[in-house]
Amino acid sequence: MRRLAPPPRLVGRGTMYLMALLIALWILIPIYLITMAAFSPKDVIYSWPKSLMPQSFSLETLLFFLNAYGVLASVRNSVIVALLTLALSLVVGAPAGYALARFIFRGKDVYRLMILSTRAFPIVILSIPLAVAFIRWNLYDTVISVALVHTAMALPTTILVTSSVFIGVSKELEEAAMVLGCNRLQAFTKVALPLALPGLAASAIFTFVLSWNEVFAATILTLYNRTLPAHLFVQLAASPLPFRFAGGFFILVPAIVFMFFVRRYLFNLWGITLK
Amino acid sequence: MAEIRLKGVRKTFGKVVAVQDVDLTVHDREFVVLLGPSGCGKTTLLRCIAGLEQVDKGRVFIGEQDVTDLPPRRRQIAMVFQNYAVFPHLTVFENIAFGLRMQRKPDSEIEMRVKAAAELLHIEELLKRYPAQLSGGQRQRVAVARAIAVQPQVLLMDEPLSNLDALLRLEMRAELKRLLREIQSTTLYVTHDQVEALSLGDRIAVMRDGQIIQYDTPLNIYDKPADVFVGGFIGNPPMNFIEGQVRVEDDKVKVLTSGGEIEPTPEDGAILRKLKDNRVLIGIRAENIEALPTSAPDALEATVLVVEPLGSHNLLTMQVGDERIKVTTRADFKVQTGQHLWLRLKADKIRWMDKASGRALYA
């Protein structure tokens, strides 16, 4: 059977751009609407029909949100939890990634698989026993408990990403450093670490955003010391519209900032080069 | 500067014996090449000397010191790696200065020694650049400069030229030779390229299956290979090996091959006499066979199978009895495929080998 001639290249490219545009709009329009609403005064948010153009600029909604009971405290908690998670997962995950990248040891493949399989274990099932354990250890309703769970959730990605980062740093470079007078640790800090730094930073920011956005574990494991997503999750249904928009905006911003800073590195990681 | 002494060094990876009880001495200021096919353990041996691998048995000495249990940084060595291993996050200057900074030398001395090393390798104008802005050949120069800047007791080089393209390799080879003459460092150089080995080394250690088979000057390795493997591995084309049987008739020793009889020199005859009726191999280099257009009493008749004109000479593939051998002739020697020629083997250039063991018949 005779095949249809492929469509002219120009059309193919045009379709591709059209699809890219549609996907971009699908993501950007809600972001745009939320942002616009977050910077609009109350009466504009409630007005109907809605306008797609900003009507008036005001910080009223955001201030209302920030001054609402518990919001600032939860933002502070979120930041603390995210930073703790970031530090813990790097301290535990980066050496594990380094070991996976550098050494051949018995059970290496099983180890790698186990790391991944922890992600297959639903946090929903884990959360009740965890809550019980944390109550027993007097850790319930603390930022530490949430950070620990977030670390557990982030570790698989951290380990696998850092291991791929360290694989990218040639072993010969460390050996060269050792021959030139470094001990093992100096070879790591003077050569491997600086070369791995961009990758480690990307992994760290990834962890930060994961923790910043995580709702479920945070909601189960805290009561008063809630993180922002947990706080919003509980409050949202009972909140007025401006509160929801401002909250949505607040959750969005770090993720966008993250994408902006690490996209170059993520693209490299995925094998796409960006000029 | 110092000598390197290995005593019974063994290194195993799991069940694989990479280096098998090697003894080796590299004299002070000597340039020794470790030559062997890939997987023969030459790089592992070098890494054992560098301290990047722990030996399982035996001792490693550098100078008078037993360094077997010392980490690389305490061995006063420098190493040039196959992939250069130039630090990408440091400038050329900082790369060359790396070892000196680790030794906490004063800035003025570092500056001076980096400049001196850079000058030796003609990379003075690249000092401010990063490795990503350099070509492969330039990176190699940085790697060598970095190694010599620390003025090591011993310089170790692991196939430093193998990643360069052919022309650049030729150029760097000559330059390395000049450079190492100049700095007079004790050098151990690993390569699988026999031409590199012949052209660079004061002595060559030929390795195979984790053992050193022959350790001698390039000329002796070429002319007097210890066994069939060395003869075949070194030289291009490889040494010819023709099978024959030792005959002793009326006190005269002759070796009968499928192409005819060969008469050894009196000295070789004395050795061969003891092997009466045994099978031996006649090892002979292509350039030690004379091709004659007409019959001669002591020559073997042969048919030309392939003629390869190589400019400076012709390389002929010939059928002699049951064997195929390579013969070189002068470029102006007129010859055609299918033609019959007579080959005269220079008796004093023949390397006699035992057929069964493949080892040369000399003590």
Give the best residue of A174, A180, A191 to mutate against chain B (max B CB count within 10 A). Answer: A180
Q: Does A179 touch chain B (CB under 8 A)?
A: yes
CA distance B74 to chain A (A): 7
SS3 readout for chain A: CCCCCCCCHHHHHHHHHHHHHHHHHHHHHHHHHHHHHHCCCHHHHHCCCCCCCCCCCCCHHHHHHHHCCCHHHHHHHHHHHHHHHHHHHHHHHHHHHHHHHHCCCCCHHHHHHHHHHHHHCCHHHHHHHHHHHHHHCCCCCCHHHHHHHHHHHHHHHHHHHHHHHHHCCCHHHHHHHHHCCCCHHHHHHHHHHHHHHHHHHHHHHHHHHHHHHCCHHHHHHCCCCCCHHHHHHHHHHHCCHHHHHHHHHHHHHHHHHHHHHHHHHHHHHCCCCCC
Q: In what order do the strands lie in the sheet with B154-158?
A: B77-80, B154-158, B186-191, B31-35, B203-208, B211-216
According to the model, what pLDDT value does residue A275 have?
34
According to the model, what pLDDT value does residue B276 have?
86
pLDDT, one tens digit per residue, over B73-116 is 999 999 999 998 999 999 999 999 999 999 999 999 999 999 99
Is B52 close to A175, i.e. CB distance below 8 A? yes
- Rg over alpha carbons for chain A, rounded to the nearest Å, is 23
Instruction: Name every residue in B having a CB less than 8 A away from some CB of A.
Output: 50-52, 71-73, 77-79, 81-83, 85, 87-89, 98-99, 102-103, 146, 150
Is B79 close to A181, i.e. CB distance below 8 A? no
Q: Does A191 touch chain B (CB under 8 A)?
A: yes
Give the best residue of A170, A178, A179 to mutate against chain B (max B CB count within 10 A). Answer: A179
Cβ burial, residue B337 (10 Å; 0-12/13-18/19+) = exposed
Nearest CB to A182; choose among B51, B73, B88: B73
pLDDT, one tens digit per residue, over B290-345 is 999 988 888 899 999 999 999 999 999 999 989 999 999 999 988 999 999 999 99
Cα dihedral A113→A115→A117→A118 (10° resolution): 170
pLDDT, one tens digit per residue, over B132-151 is 999 988 999 999 999 999 99
CA distance B18 to chain A (A): 17
Tell me which chain A residues have a C-beta less than 8 angstroms from the C-beta of B77: 179
Is B52 close to A181, i.e. CB distance below 8 A? no
Is A180 close to B71, i.e. CB distance below 8 A? no
Nearest CB to B81; choose among A172, A181, A182: A172
According to the model, what pLDDT value does residue B105 have?
94
pLDDT, one tens digit per residue, over B148-205 is 999 999 999 999 998 888 888 888 899 899 988 888 889 999 999 999 999 999 999 9
According to the model, what pLDDT value does residue A227 have?
87
* Averaged pLDDT, B240-268: 90
Tell me which chain A residues have a C-beta less than 8 angstroms from the C-beta of B95: none
Q: Topology of A69-269 in CATH?
A: MetI-like fold (1.10.3720)
Is B99 close to A181, i.e. CB distance below 8 A? yes
- Of all residues in chain A, the one with the smallest CA distance to B53 is A175
ipTM of the complex, rounded to two decimals: 0.84
According to the model, what pLDDT value does residue A256 have?
82
Which residues pair with residue B352 across a beta bridge? B282
> Domain-by-domain residue ranges, chain A?
1-68, 69-269
Contact, B2 vs B62, CB < 8 A? yes
Tell me which chain A residues have a C-beta less than 8 angstroms from the C-beta of B79: 175-176, 179
Q: Which residues of chain A carry a pLDDT beneath 50?
A: 1, 270-275
Percent of chain B topping pLDDT 90? 77
pTM: 0.80
